[in-house]
Amino acid sequence: MSRLTSLPPGKPLRPGHLGAFNFRDMGGWHLLTNDWGRHLRLEAADFERFLSGGIKPEDPLWAALRQGGFLRDQMDFNDLASSYLRKNSFHWFAGPSLHMVVVTLRCNQKCLYCHSSVVDPSRTDTDMDLETAKRTVDFIFQTPNPTLCIEFQGGEPLLNWPVVKFITRYAQKKAEAARRRLIVALVSNFSLMSEERLDFLLDHHVSLCTSLDGPPELHDRNRPFLGGGEAQGKVVAWLERIQRRCQADSSRRAYLPGALMTTTRFSFPFAREIVDLYAGLGLEQIFIRPLSPIGYAKRVWSEIGYGPEEFVAFYERTLDTILELNRTGRSSLMERTALILLTKILKGEDPGFMDLRSPAGAVLGCLAYNYNGEIFVSDEGRMVDHEGDPIFRVGHVAENDWASVLDHPTTRACVTASVLENQPMCSQCAYKPYCGVEPVFHYETQRSVFGQTPSSPWCVSHMGLFDAIFRRLRDPGASAVFEEWLARDQCRWQENDPEPAGEPQGGGRAYAP
Amino acid sequence: MRTKKAKAAGTPRARISRDGSVSFELSVKREGLEPILGAAYLLTDRAYASLDGDRARLAVTLRPKSPSCDLKALSEVFLRELETQKLRWAIAKNNLPVHEFVAEQAVLLANGRIPPPSPPAPAADDLSEEQRREIERLIAEVEEEIKALNQKKLLSDPNKIRASWEERQEAALGEPSPTQEERPPARALGGP
């Protein structure tokens, strides 16, 4: 059968009474979902009874089917519309909330997978100048979302520290004057951090996030310094230092640093060690992210890349390790991908993750700004440009206004291509209410912003991730841990701000000052 | 060869060619255009699919991407997908008006045009005559609104999506209540 899964042959069907839903054969049971974000798990025999109209009002399953909107003549339209609205809340966010600013292309590391298109530290010509920085902030404030998140990326942003400071201050002044909510986040390797810089960042409520791929033998292999040296040791030392600073001051606890890992082929043997490292450091979350075959990483894919099935297997192994630590009370570490999917599945809410939206976050949810003022649909789009293809460039801060970026043909193409109703396979997938497709990824892997879903690595890996989560939701032990994670995650937002908007792509945490 | 049983049941016939492909002659009327296209598309992860024919009959040819592919198994998978596609499309078509109505309701809810639901909402078969009339009136009202919006939308920007922040603020000054954009998103949506 196809990856969508098919029906058992020869079974009686009575589609007339069925509400709008998609289904997936999970092996012995079926998952039913609908566009309003509801889901239901049915044993194989119950699924067949449902399809043939064999579940009657007196049946215990009737109420669940009715409540979920799976029975065509038993729908509570207001309730379903309310769910649909909550699930797609980003449709009503006016404009992009996440603005990724590349203040320099320079970096002092030469990561094996670095698809951020970095250059040598001597290339100061790839630093954003103050004039461009000001114009970038001015452009960001043209965009109409009431909440703005500026995320510094690179290169290594700390190599252009004066501009980081300027943008932070200038944007905060503008936000204050315009009474707009502003979140500032920094994604850095921390190697150029200093006490003075940390003081500034903490004083200005900048969320901090770094990359931590695992134990030294893995991290230093993935992310070597130019000229050598221990990269992992520096990251860990600064993480611990920043943690101590934040914990010592109650007003700064919301700004505890985050870390994220990128999975290379070399990560596979280290699942346990990676989890132990994150748990040992007392980090709240780990974000197990796949490598994207975009930009530079595409060139070295044969050395460090892998198939989507391999990533899913690694993810499941790592997730099970984390769940085991939680069950036995040895750690309360949460896994970010699982949290994103669970927020969608169990809470029916949008967690603000740009990649899993329909349409995708490109322009509508996020924009990326290169050091020279060029504007891209996303940071991945900028990386494609760095490889010589400007297709995802949608403007320039000195030449274009928000309306022209929104009207740009590339914006329209990305939006059209990433609406799941326009994707023949996605429109029938059980994971449609929670999933999304990424036009830049498909352009890079399949030479089309639409992609071809049946053979798309994006689809294989995301289906695998959703399978992993839904299968574990059937396990009471794992399900209890998931529920606890969601409750804790909710508390975190409530303590710091009730409405997460546009979570930083780098995995840093977006808190309001 | 097509078996007598298959012929009696009307199962489409698979023709396995020596050139390493398998093809099907399908009646568009009987199988439906969308299910045929859908089943062929789903198998493009393992085979090249080509289509030929007209509005009445379509020939689908699947040529495996891997030389080790079992053509008989591939043909069985295609036929099973075709049957599944028929169900998927039947469900989708039957529910298209429901889908559209719920989406429209969501838009109206988001814009504060109708109040959020007050649980517990009555199930369809528990509705009184008065409630049914009210729903019909509401549906007619929504349809009118959608019609009017559709007429305007090509020329205007009713949600001010293209407007800059400053333009929105200027527009908001003349309005008695906060605009949708000024309110925090989750509150505007009614929260969790």
The pLDDT tens digits for A344-384 are: 999 999 888 999 999 999 999 999 999 999 999 999 999 99
- pLDDT, residue A346, reads 97
Are residues B87 and B38 located together in one domain of the fold?
yes
Residue B185 is nearest to which of A4, A93, A427, comparing CB atoms?
A93
| Residues 141-170 in B contacting A (C-alpha not used; CB under 8 Å) | 159-166, 168-169
At B93, which amino acid appears?
K
Question: In chain A, what are the domain boundaries?
Answer: 19-87, 90-373+474-496
- Kindly indicate the confidence band of residue A253, based on its pLDDT and cuts at 50, 70 and 90: confident
Q: Quick one: pLDDT band at residue A92, thresholds 50, 70, 90?
A: low
Residues B110-124 pLDDT 10s: 887 776 655 554 445
Check if B188 contacts A (Cβ < 8 Å). yes
Whether cis (ω within 30° of 0) applies to the bond prior to B120 is yes
pLDDT at B138: 75
Residue B116's pLDDT is what? 61
B130-181 confidence digits (pLDDT tens): 777 777 777 777 677 767 766 665 556 666 666 777 776 666 666 544 333 3
Same-domain check for residues B34 and B67: yes
Q: How many domains does chain B have?
A: 3
- B88: chain A residues, CB-CB within 8 Å: 22, 428
Q: From B95, which residue of chain A is nearest by alpha-carbon distance?
A: A20
Asked whether A361 and A511 are in contact (CB, 8 A), the reply is: no
pLDDT at A504: 43
Say yes or no: B26 and B11 in one domain: yes
B40 shares its domain with B67: yes
Same domain, B146 and B162: no
Architecture of domain A90-373+474-496: Alpha-Beta Barrel (3.20)
Question: Same domain, yes or no, for B9 and B83?
Answer: yes
Residues A183, A207: contact at Cβ < 8 Å?
Answer: yes
State what percent of residues in chain B have pLDDT above 90.
45
**Helices A195-203, A231-247: crossing angle, 10 deg rounding:** 50
The beta-carbon neighbor of A425 closest among B42, B109, B110 is B42
Average pLDDT over every residue of A191-205: 96
Whether B167 and B189 share a structural domain:
yes
Widest pairwise Cα distance in chain A: 75
Share of chain A above pLDDT 90, in %: 81
pLDDT tier at B127 (50, 70, 90 boundaries)? Answer: low
Among B94, B121, B143, the domain boundary falls at B94
Closest CA to B26 of B90, B100, B86: B86
The answer to whether the CB atoms of A19 and B95 lie below 8 A apart is yes
Cβ neighbours of A457 in B, within 8 Å: none
SS3 call for A475: coil
Q: Identify whether residues B79 and B103 lie together within a single domain.
A: no
Q: What are phi and psi of A210, to 5 degrees?
A: -135, 175
Locate A468 and state its tokens: 């992993």
Answer yes or no: do B30 and B78 share one domain.
Answer: yes
Distance of CA B147 to the CA centre of its chain: 21
Residue reference for tokens 């879903």: A453
Taking all residues of chain B, what is their mean pLDDT, rounded to a whole number?
77
The strand order across the sheet containing A29-33 reads A22-25, A29-33, A39-43
Predicted complex ipTM exceeds 0.95: no
pLDDT of residue B140: 76
Q: Taking CB atoms and an 8 Å limit, are B80 and A6 in contact across chains?
A: yes
Secondary structure of residue A30 in the 3-state scheme: strand
CA distance A285 to chain B (A): 23
Domain that residue B174 falls in? 157-192
Q: Among A89-93, A146-150, B66-70, where is mean pLDDT lowest?
A: A89-93
- Give CA–CA dist B135/B132, Å, rounded: 5
Sheet of strand B47-53: strand arrangement: B14-16, B22-27, B57-64, B47-53
Judged by average pLDDT, the poorest of A414-428, B13-27, B150-164 is B150-164
Contact B42 A7 (CB under 8 A): no
Same domain, B34 and B71: yes
Domain termination site, one of B62, B94, B126:
B94
Chain-centre distance of CA A325, in angstroms? 24
pLDDT in tens, A54-77: 999 999 999 999 999 999 989 999
Are residues A363 and A96 in contact, defined by beta-carbon separation less than 8 angstroms?
A: yes
* Closest CB to B88 among A93, A145, A428: A428
Cβ atoms of A394 and A373 within 8 Å: the answer is no
Indicate which CATH number applies to the domain containing B11.
3.30.70
Distance, CA of A389 to CA of A391 (rounded, Å): 6
Q: What is the mean pLDDT of residues B96-102?
A: 93
pLDDT above 60 for B184 = no
